[in-house]
Amino acid sequence: MGWSNNTVWLNATATKRGQSAASGTIGFRGVSEGVWNFHIGGYQVCEKWLKDRKGRTLSEDDIAHYQKIVVALAETMRLMPEIDEVIERHSGWPGAFARGEVKPQEAISETVAVDSAVLLSRDTVPETPPYEPAAAAEQRVIGHEPDELDREDLICRIRHLFGDGEERQRDAVIEALAREVGLQDAGSRIRKAIDHALRIAIGRNILANEHGALRLSARNIEQYERNLLKEQFLASLSGRPWIERDDAIRTFARWMGFRRTGRSIDETVRSLVNGLVREKRVERDGSRIRRAG
């Protein structure tokens, strides 16, 4: 199974991840490379759906459902940059969703041209060794023990708290964050966990510490110096194996306290990656990257 020439081949010879497959004789035509490689929750959607049905003959309903998946993913990819841009323009996540008076806006209707996936021929999906699904991603929960606090979530909350541009004292920040995660009566261990997150935020240049007063170093990614961003991006890759570039962009956004990526973050980080590849500090294999050395 694999993809090439805008076609998902059901009987293509297996290839390494990221490589195009040789053309087969059975498949779905009209599937772009972006749709084929689209991941949700760590799964490559188009590939996993088919792998879960290996050894079965696809029914008419199966074929229609897969076509709907392809169209839905293509539309999702079209809308994601627009949604991210709007969220970033309105103070980021979750501030963009704060309740308030909503002014009626004229609805905009737009027709999107998406090639529907067309099954070239019906046949049994080739039999292969049973597919073993990856373990479900661990769900992080804000709980009442410091070990349960999601550090990256705290980093994002720190950036959001300082989004108003005001300076704050460390103790006031700890109290505010404790209330935000539902731990108003924070004990010493919880306070230490939050204080540790503040120190990380300072180390990543999310916050600046001036004589004990904390403030936001930069409101958006464009206000950072390029060399500083390069070092922080490399730090975000430390200890990681090969990672999809788009996943690395999202990981780095959260590393710097941005819950969502927008056009400016996406373009900036892609430029950083290209520069680091030229400097041989990052290795690239198709759509995957890793820190060199």
pLDDT tens column, 66-95:
999 999 998 888 888 878 777 777 666 656
- Can you give the pLDDT at residue 133? 32
Q: Listing from the earlier edge strand, what are the strands of the sheet with 243-244?
A: 243-244, 288-291, 282-285
Residue 137 maps to a domain: no
Residue 250 maps to a domain: yes
Q: Are residues 7 and 90 in the same domain?
A: yes
Q: Are residues 212 and 232 in the same domain?
A: no
Domain membership of residue 173 as a residue range? 146-216
Is the pTM value of this prediction over 0.75?
Answer: no
- Can you give the pLDDT at residue 145? 41
> Which tens digit of pLDDT belongs to each residue from 227-251?
999 999 999 998 888 999 999 999 9
Residue 203 maps to a domain: yes
Q: Are residues 242 and 210 in the same domain?
A: no
pLDDT bucket at 110, cuts 50 / 70 / 90: very low
Residue 104 maps to a domain: no
Residue 15 maps to a domain: yes
Q: Are residues 194 and 230 in the same domain?
A: no
Tell me which of 239 and 98 has the higher pLDDT: 239
Q: Are residues 160 and 74 in the same domain?
A: no
Tell me which of 101 and 195 has the higher pLDDT: 195
Which spans in 90-238 are helix H? 151-161, 170-180, 188-203, 226-237
Assign residue 187 the CATH number of its domain: 1.10.10
Residue 71 maps to a domain: yes
How many separate domains does the chain show?
A: 3
Q: Are residues 15 and 85 in the same domain?
A: yes
In the numeric block, the tokens 């390029």 are attached to: 226
Phi, psi dihedrals of residue 84, rounded to the nearest 5°: -60, -40
Q: Are residues 261 and 174 in the same domain?
A: no
Q: Are residues 282 and 228 in the same domain?
A: yes
